[in-house]
Structure 1
Amino acid sequence: MTTPIPAIEGKTTVNIGRDRAFELFTGHFGAWWPRQYHIGAAEVADVVLEPHHGGRWFERGVDGSECDWGRVLAWEPPERVVFTWQIGGDWRFDPDPAHASEIEVRFHADGPEQTTVEVEQRHFERLVGGEGVHGAIEHGGGGWVALLTAYAQMVERS
């Protein structure tokens, strides 16, 4: 039996309605995702989360190449989205869905023009090299707290 690795969480509040918060988070990943966080050979041109169950989560390089990161497990706008992180400790995509952590993002309406966005990344023990991935995400760049800060800054600019 594999020892569970703790989840990584993050939360932010943005001053837009829940529908728009969901749309900006899922439909504009490339506008807020830090460019240095990629695994493809080429520099990142965009990060895409396809808007349906079974959709791909991937990066598109400036040269047009694509590099998968995971798959959409649940697409429930504007309440939540769940997708996999299938990048192991070697920082390569693992096509085996049994080797995937999960990222769940929930959108809570705090009023007509305010939304709390909560992220939980869990099941790191499923990843090959999951402890290293967990450590890199949590300590290497601020984890989901830093990513949600970038998202909130993008929301402010839009």
Structure 2
Amino acid sequence: MTTPIPPIEGKTTVNLNRERAFELFTGSIGSWWPRQYHIGAAEVADIILEPHEGGRWFERGVDCSECDWGRVLAWEPPERVLFTWQIGGDWQSDPDPAHASEIEVRFHADGPEQTTVEVEQRHFERLVGGESVYGAIEHGGGGWVALLQAYSQMVATRIAQAQP
């Protein structure tokens, strides 16, 4: 039996309605995900989360190469999205779905134009080298707290640009 590794969590609040917060999180990952966090050989051109159950989560390189990161397990706009992280301790994609952690993102309306976004990444023990991945995410780059800060900053920039 594998020893469970605790989940990594993060939370942020953005000044958007829940539908738009969901749309920007899932449809614009490539605009807020830090470019240094990738596993492909080429520099990152975009990061894509396909908007349906069974969809891919992957990076596209500037050379048009693609590198899978995981799959969408649940697509429930505007409330929730659940997808896998199939990147092991060697920082390579693992095609075996049994070797995947899960990332669940929930969107809670706090009012007509405010949404709390909560992320939980769990089941690191399923990954080959899961303790190493956990340590790198939790302690190496700020984990989901840092990623959600990047998302929040992207949202704030878009709101500011939309104002006359």
Q: Would you call these one fold, judging by a TM-score over 0.5? A: yes
Counterpart of 1:34 in structure 2: which amino acid?
P
Unaligned runs of 5+ residues in structure 1 are none
In structure 2, distance between residues paired with 1:65 and 1:97: 22
In structure 1, distance between residues paired with 2:120 and 2:18: 18
In structure 1, distance between residues paired with 2:58 and 2:84: 11
For 1:85, the equivalent position in structure 2 comes to 85
For the pair 1:57 / 2:62, whether they are aligned, the reply is no
Could you tell me how far 1:100 is from its partner in structure 2? 0.2
Could you tell me how far 1:12 is from its partner in structure 2? 0.1
CA shift digits 1:33-68 (9 cap, x unpaired): 000000000000000000000000000000100000
Could you tell me how far 1:87 is from its partner in structure 2? 0.1
TM-score by length of 1: 1.00
CA root-mean-square deviation = 0.2
In structure 1, distance between residues paired with 2:59 and 2:136: 19
Could you tell me how far 1:15 is from its partner in structure 2? 0.3
Runs of at least 4 residues off by over 2 Å:
none
Counterpart of 1:138 in structure 2: which amino acid?
E
In structure 2, distance between residues paired with 1:88 and 1:118: 24
In structure 2, distance between residues paired with 1:58 and 1:116: 25
Counterpart of 2:109 in structure 1: which amino acid?
A
In structure 2, distance between residues paired with 1:13 and 1:104: 16
Aligned residues: 158
Q: Secondary structure at the match of 1:155?
A: helix
For 2:29, the equivalent position in structure 1 comes to 29
Q: Secondary structure at the match of 1:116?
A: strand
For 1:20, the equivalent position in structure 2 comes to 20
In structure 1, distance between residues paired with 2:61 and 2:116: 31
Counterpart of 2:77 in structure 1: which amino acid?
P
For 2:125, the equivalent position in structure 1 comes to 125
In structure 1, distance between residues paired with 2:58 and 2:118: 21
In structure 2, distance between residues paired with 1:78 and 1:16: 12
For the pair 1:94 / 2:98, whether they are aligned, the reply is no
CA shift digits 1:102-135 (9 cap, x unpaired): 0000000000000000000000000000000000
For 1:9, the equivalent position in structure 2 comes to 9
For 1:154, the equivalent position in structure 2 comes to 154
Could you tell me how far 1:24 is from its partner in structure 2? 0.1
Unaligned runs of 5+ residues in structure 2 are 159-164
Counterpart of 2:57 in structure 1: which amino acid?
W
